[in-house]
Chains A and B, each alone.
Chain A
Amino acid sequence: MIDPALPLYGDLADPTPKIRVRGLDFFYGDQQALFSNDIDIAPNRVTAVIGPSGCGKSTHLRVYNRIFELYRDQKAKGDVLLNGESIFAPTMKLLELRRRVGMIFQKPTPFPMSVFENVAYGIRLHYAVPKSELEGRVEEALKGAALWEEVRDLLHKPGTALSGGQQQRLCIARAIAVEPEVLLMDEPTSAIDPIATAKIEELVDVLKKNYTIVIVTHNMQQAARISDFTAFFFKGYIVEFGETRQIFTNPKNKKTEEYITGRFG
């Protein structure tokens, strides 16, 4: 039995979770994809979500910003609390939720506009920023995503003209420009080369000072390198959740052990 008052990640970190998930079920039409998921996401930490493909990692992540609601046949049951407030509560404004919970996708998705406009997009949406201040904010966000030095002379080139790794960092800059609290990353490095991947991993380490990060990855080395906590998903269940070190050195569950030792997945 889970005591809903106690954080699931034990006594190692801040006792108040940033995100608390309780009894989350998820359905694609009649097909159930998640089964009573419980998890607490620690603030200013990196939580990795691992598991074989089709296990529900991305599905789980896509509940946090309610992006799944774009699709008519997808339904979530249960509750997700952000800072103690349910994201499904009527008082929770969807647009504000998505500003507070940013998302980075598998493939870089620069919008069809210039590098500058890509970053300014969200700022213009959510803030009344005078033009003079906007440039500073864009620069700040690009610096935050460790991209400024590379693109300072390319600000007015289309976002799609950058390399894959740069595009992904542009998306990170775009996400942090609106001052979110949480960053969701759905296999952010699966479409880019190893060098660019290393840069993004470094960046994740820096970003956790200011943001709570949840990252879905199919790369176990990556999870071990960058995360503080790891959740192992299997067939829609959270089979094991704990400190990354513990999960990778001393898994309690047999399935987890089989997966991290590469016996399936």
Chain B
Amino acid sequence: MRRLREYLSEHFETTFRGFTVLCAAVVLIIMAAMFFNLAWNARLAIGQFGLGFLWRDMWDPALNEYGALSSIYGTVVSTVIAMTVAVPMSVVIALFLVELAHPTVSKVVGAAIELLAAIPSIIYGMWGLFVFAPLMAETVQPFLQETLGLENVPGIGRLFTGAPMGIGMLTSGIILAIMILPFISAVMRDVFAMVPAVVKESAYGMGSTTWEVTRKVTLRYGIQGVVGACFLGLGRAIGETMAVTFVIGNAHRISLSLYDPGNSIASTIANEFAEASDPLYLQALIYLGLVLLVMTFVIQMIAQWWVVRLKKSMGAGL
């Protein structure tokens, strides 16, 4: 009897372990299947357009001709706007929360920012469409164009031409920024807070200002976490669907002006999926999805590789 119980428990040990291995394997299977399934279900479009799909500036369901260039362009531009706004802001917000604010203020503001990160993206889309875009059209965009006269500045002037419609690249970039800001700053705050007090003290002890300590020591010490936070934000921004779909305008064209409507990969898929009755049309959308998958995959790989490299070259601690 006793031996039987021992045998069973021994046996269960292996079963249990095997079960966890199986669960872990599911993650790998899903990842592999994602690539395979998307590629297989886009095989018509892949066969028709090949890799040229990537640099083809054409999207015409009537002619059944598809190319991803304008979607890739829109994805990249809106993401760049979002990162340009959100990353520096996150650094200074983390600086405020960790180094400058009174602990109570820091706790309250920190909690609020974490909540901001939890709001579903469709809410940002609603708010963007009904509140923010009209505001952009009536106030912000005319202000940038006329009052600041950005339209006539040589070089960047082209970015601010066109009718202020509120819907378009600039608006979606800013909404993306508001969306990823809390993610990045919450992680950066944790990273800043983890830098040991002695390291900061010795930087202050050298006669550095708070900003110099942050820029030259804290940011470097936590570089792994900081880069991780940025890539987290980048990953979010690049694949974000709902917040962008509502305000980007869904026009398949490449325009230098940030005021013009455009499209991103995700917004095109979400928006046109329901109307894609033709098999080639549907497959072109799935092909777009495959492109986005590869993009995010590559970004994540770079992130992981970069973090390891940074750690080696700087001796960062986190």
Interface pair A102/B198, CB less than 8 Å apart: no
Question: A106-B198, A112-B221 are contacts. A158–B314 as well, Cβ < 8 Å?
Answer: yes
Of the listed stretches B29-37, B59-67, B204-212, B230-238, chain A binds B204-212
Q: Taking the complex as formed, is A175 at the interface, i.e. its CB lies under 8 A from any CB of chain B? A: yes
How many interface contacts (CB-CB < 8 Å) are there between A and B?
80
What number of A residues sit within 8 Å (CB to CB) of B?
33
Across-interface contacts of B208 in A (CB, < 8 A): 95, 125
Q: Taking the complex as formed, is B316 at the interface, i.e. its CB lies under 8 A from any CB of chain A? A: yes
- Of residues 108 through 137 on chain A, the ones whose CB sits less than 8 Å from some CB of chain B are 109-114, 121-122, 125-126
Q: Taking the complex as formed, is A70 at the interface, i.e. its CB lies under 8 A from any CB of chain B? A: yes
Across-interface contacts of B216 in A (CB, < 8 A): 111, 121
Complex Cα distance, B221 from A125, in Å, reads 18
* B309–chain A nearest beta-carbon distance, Å: 12
Interface size class of B (residues with CB under 8 A): 20 to 34
The interface centre, meaning the residue of B200, B203, B315 with most chain A CB atoms within 10 A of its CB, is B315
Complex Cα distance, B213 from A98, in Å, reads 14
Q: Taking the complex as formed, is B156 at the interface, i.e. its CB lies under 8 A from any CB of chain A? A: no
Q: Taking the complex as formed, is A160 at the interface, i.e. its CB lies under 8 A from any CB of chain B? A: yes
Q: Taking the complex as formed, is B162 at the interface, i.e. its CB lies under 8 A from any CB of chain A? A: no
- Of residues 175 through 230 on chain B, the ones whose CB sits less than 8 Å from some CB of chain A are 196, 198-209, 212, 216-217, 220-221, 223
Interface pair B206/A125, CB less than 8 Å apart: yes
Interface pair B198/A109, CB less than 8 Å apart: yes
| A48-80 interface code vs B (CB 8 A; 1 in, 0 out) | 000000000000000001010010100000000
Interface pair A102/B317, CB less than 8 Å apart: no
Across-interface contacts of B102 in A (CB, < 8 A): 72
Interface pair A99/B207, CB less than 8 Å apart: yes
Across-interface contacts of A165 in B (CB, < 8 A): none
Interface pair A174/B206, CB less than 8 Å apart: yes
Q: What residues make up the interface of B, taking CB atoms closer than 8 Å to A?
A: 102-103, 196, 198-209, 212, 216-217, 220-221, 223, 312-317
Query: Lowest 8 A-B CB distances belong to which pairs?
Result: A158-B315, A160-B315, A98-B207, A103-B205, A99-B207, A109-B202, A112-B220, A95-B207
Q: What residues make up the interface of A, taking CB atoms closer than 8 Å to B?
A: 65, 67, 70, 72, 94-99, 102-103, 105-107, 109-114, 121-122, 125-126, 158-161, 171, 174-175, 178
